[in-house]
Structure 1
Amino acid sequence: MDRESVIAGRRLKFHVSTDAGEFRVRFYRLGRELSFMAETGPYPGVPAAPPPHPDGVPEHASPAVDWDWPPYEHGIPADWPPGIYLARFVEEEGSAEEEGSAEGAERRARDVPLPADAGIAGFGREFFVVRPRHPGASGARILYKKSTYTRHAYNCGDRADVRRAASLYDHPVYQEGGADRPRGHQLSLHRPGGVNDLAYWDAPFIAWLERSGYEVEYCTDLDLHEEPGLLSPYRLLLSVGHDEYWSAAMRAHAAEFVRGGGNVAFFSANTCWWRVHPVDGNSAFVSDTDHHVGTEYPHLPATDLWWPAPPDGVGEPENALTGVSFRNGGMWPGDWPGDRPREGYRVQHADHWVYEGTGLRDGSDGGTQDALGAGTALIGYECDGAAFATDADGVARATGVDGTPESFLILGIYLLDPVHDDFHHLKWGHWNCPEREGAITSPRAATMGLYTAGGTVFTAGTTDWPVVCGRELDPGVVRVTRNVLDRLAGPATPDR
């Protein structure tokens, strides 16, 4: 996609390389199910090679530059509702006469993916956001931010039959920068790679939001980066799933929104860990991270880590916005999404409005101390925490030594013990970080909580909250999510 969001009624530009004579594009909208919207084409197919990687390995392709594939356009109807949409690119089979026949139309109809995750994830697909012409006019009070920068960081540029292995994590491209360009790994947003994270985190949560009657509008990271007034029509901003990469402007706009009385719910983790610098007309970004180039770190310490003091980092702990940090949390070993303990969050302050209607207890009445999400893989795949100390009553309280706001209230906690072995050696939540602190000043724990500073900021402290809620795997998690949305965005009207 030329850009991952488009306003209804305007034109969407996409880029395709194929050796097929023709291809079509099928559009779907993610909602309570995957809804077929339209089919367009046929378009003439044109093959184009990926740009070579500077490491010279033929199987790789450069993640740093625009792949510059042939462009195509499609007008998005003005009446398409706001949402996240899926484009599926389908190579034509058979003759043009067959494709134009009733038999061809019937065959294409049979090819429409089923309304399930299997029809969302995969190659030959791309997603984009449709934004309304008049934000908030429909009554939507919630803006859902799709974490597109994080998606690009992990996108390897693969296709179904070719593993190109080129991303911020696989064979990245590092540039020294200069007077008018930041130093760091460069990543182009104009690369293919298919759809993955959307199916895992976003699709089930979006389906649940619509089933539950919430009016929601959508944006991308780039939208939040470019538009200072983007949040003004809304009461609540959502960060969902894995939201690791933030620009300074994104963070400034979100922080200003909170200071002005707006609310944020981080149903996410590993959030705001690395700073990115959009470049090349915002079609790429640069980030000085600690990812290997070959067998070496090109620059240590990596200066785009948000929390460390300059010159070794940005000096603005993510905790100041989110209340929590990956350096006080961690991740589980093994392949994504990985297996993990299923004990859930130990409940604290069960009389808080966040727990209203859950029936969960914190043990202060002499009964059992319950765990939110027990029996599900709620904690992880990655999770964030706040530095804390336990008082005489066994209640965990944030210390604020890591930048967490003084008013942050810990509502749920899960001690990360044992953790991945690397964390014992490399400290503070990231396996490639150099040792930046002499000692661990707080136990690591996934942390759910909130604070108020103008507006209210809630954090789930875990990437997989939207999975457990969206699939309705735990009634307590579902009810807490409802409580947060209803309180911070206003009442919803359930349609079931």
Structure 2
Amino acid sequence: MISHEIEGYFGRESVAVGETIRIHASTTAPRFRVDFFKLGAKPRYAGSTPWLPGRHRPRPLVAGRADPSVDWGWDAYPFTPAGDWEPGLYAAFFETADVTPALRPLKGFGRDSLVVRPHRAENRVLCKVSTFTRHAYNRGDGAGFTDGASLYDDPVHIPGQGHKVSFRRAGGIDFLAYWDAPFLAWLENNGYTVDLCTDLDLHEDPDLLTGYRLLLSVGHDEYWSTEMRTHTTAFAGNGGNVAFLSGNTCWWRVRVTDGGTAFVSDTDHRVDDVCPRLPAPDLWWTIAPENALTGVSFRNGGMWPGGWPGDRPRTGFTVQHADHWVFAGTGLRDGDRLGEGTGLIGYECDGAAFVRDEHGVARPSGADGTPPDFTILGIAELTPVHDDLHHPRAGHWNCADREADGPRAATMGVHTLGAGTVFTGASTDWPVVTASGAAPAVEQVTRNVLDRLGG
């Protein structure tokens, strides 16, 4: 049997119910199709495209590598899903063999996914899929192609603009399988129904949040545009709520270009082993500190080096203000550890600059732009600290910005923003631990946040 290569991407990663999807593909097979599975408590087969004519198209190259900065321009195939497709997140599988979809092993999903949006809010909670971050890390190295490039590996820097990343290219990473899919399963198993959107949706549409009570950020949410922040802040100002069950959140600013098919971000990532511009102009904390939105920043947190997600300490958050509504029903008391024995802290986590009062309670100092009313509900000091990821003693917390003053700690907390409330779990792996079932108190806190802020 001949083994054919196939890979693809979508012209846009989200569509409204009933809209046409534009599928771009390259294959050595004479024909192909795409199978779609809706993710939830259990992945459910939703449907397939008809068999489509296969054509092989080259990858655009730069310095011998798959160019991460341009639209790959592969042939487009329009497909309109059946009218019974529900809003949600769909995993897509590009197939060249006539395999019964219901028998397909769902492994490796996350490289190709699609959000189907309702035309207007159908539920009270909108969960945002962090697609800008996924594109930043995408090396485009699927289908046996190893010479990929990304914002982190051999990026392309446009003079006077920054590093450029195109959304229209194949490849990907398994963000979806690690963060989004398990958490969506947990939501459905616990009786929660949410709508979904992508970063680009939030960026483009100032009215997207109309009708919702709560915006959820989940997992690794590193790249934010000015428009995303503006729309989220306005939503909170009008009484909407936000929950960051995420970490490394809003670290880099992006500017969406090329008609919504790419972004540019002037970062500190190396091109030919040289940083084009330092200090990097698009660090949010140097422009408008992300603390004003999230309450915390990766600047005052850190990451656990080594293999992702890493064998990091399992200490959890030390609880403060255990009488707060966030802890209702957990049975926790001040000084207890939330998530102890799990990887709740990290692998990347955010913090607020803090001081301790005469009772040892951590309070925000405000030196980093954290709002005065930010209540630190849980704290996990990141010790020991080691600055060099390549040092033989690597395996200690590597802190995000060595210039920041004071100790570094993941700081879970809550504050007000306008008429709204903002909760932060301050860690990339909050949804992973929630979905694992290993920490009932973390699950209860998550329910409290959804019930209180989502109405």
Normalising by the smaller structure, the TM-score range is over 0.9
Contact 1:126 1:195 in 2 (8 A): no
Alpha carbon RMSD of aligned pairs, Å?
A: 1.7
- Looking at structure 2, the residues matched to 341 and 199 of structure 1 have their Cα atoms a distance apart, in angstroms, of 23
Amino acid at match of 1:288: D
Structure 2: how far apart are the matches of 1:380 and 1:232? Answer: 32
Give the alignment's TM-score, normalised by structure 2: 0.94
Structure 2 residue corresponding to 1:464, chosen from 422, 429, 432:
429
* Equivalence for 2:308: 336
Aligned to 1:357: 329
Please give the secondary structure, in 2, of the residue aligned with 1:251: helix
Q: Secondary structure at the match of 1:41?
A: coil
Q: State the secondary structure of the residue aligned to 1:417.
A: coil
Matches within 5 A, 1:387-466: 387-422=353-388, 437=403, 440-453=404-417, 454-466=419-431
* Uncovered stretches (5+) of structure 2, i.e. residues with no partner: 1-9, 392-396
Name the stretch that deviates more: 79-88 or 259-268.
79-88
User: 1 CA distance for matches of 2:359 and 2:350?
Assistant: 24
Query: 1:80 aligns to what?
Result: 85
Partner secondary structure for residue 285 of structure 2: coil
Contact 2:36 2:45 in 1 (8 A): yes
Whole-Å separation in 2 of the counterparts to 1:128 and 1:429? 34
Aligned residues: 440
Report which of the two structures shows the higher radius of gyration computed on alpha carbons.
1
Q: Which residue of 1 aligns with 2:280?
A: 302
Letter of the 2:440 partner, please give it: P
1:143 aligns with 2:152: no
- Matches of residues 107-256 of structure 1 in structure 2 within 5 Å? 107-109=99-101, 111-114=103-106, 118=107, 120-121=109-110, 125-133=111-119, 135-136=120-121, 138=122, 140-177=123-160, 183-256=161-234
What is the alpha-carbon distance in structure 1 between the residues aligned to residue 398 and residue 221 of structure 2? 15
> CA 1:421/1:68 → structure 2, altered by over 3 Å: closer, same or farther?
same
Alignment match, 2:438: 473
Contact (CA 8 Å) 1:332, 1:420: kept in 2 or not? no
1:282 alignment partner, one of 260, 269, 277 = 260
Q: Distance in 2 between matches of 1:152 and 1:110?
A: 29
Which AA in structure 2 matches 1:385?
A: G
Q: Tell me, in whole angstroms, the C-alpha distance in 1 between the residues paired with 2:83 and 2:416.
A: 38
Q: For residue 494 of structure 1, what is the aligned residue in structure 2?
A: none
CA contact (8 A) 1:189 1:284 kept: yes
The alpha-carbon deviation at position 119 of structure 1 amounts to 5.2
Change (3 A) 1:110 1:450: closer
CA distance in 2, matches of 1:381, 1:487: 27
| Identical columns (%) | 59
Cα distance in structure 1, aligned partners of 2:318 and 2:203: 36
Partner of 2:7: none
Note if 1:63 corresponds to 2:59.
no
Structure 1 segments unaligned to the other structure (5+ residues): 93-98, 100-106, 178-182, 309-313, 363-368, 491-496
Q: Which residue of 1 aligns with 2:298?
A: 326
SS of the counterpart of 1:223? helix
CA–CA separation in structure 1 for the residues paired with 2:217 and 2:102: 36
Q: CA deviation at 1:419?
A: 2.6
Structure-2 separation of matches of 1:119 and 1:430: 31
Looking at structure 2, the residues matched to 449 and 195 of structure 1 have their Cα atoms a distance apart, in angstroms, of 30
- Find the aligned partners of 2:152 and 2:210 in 1 and give their Cα distance: 35
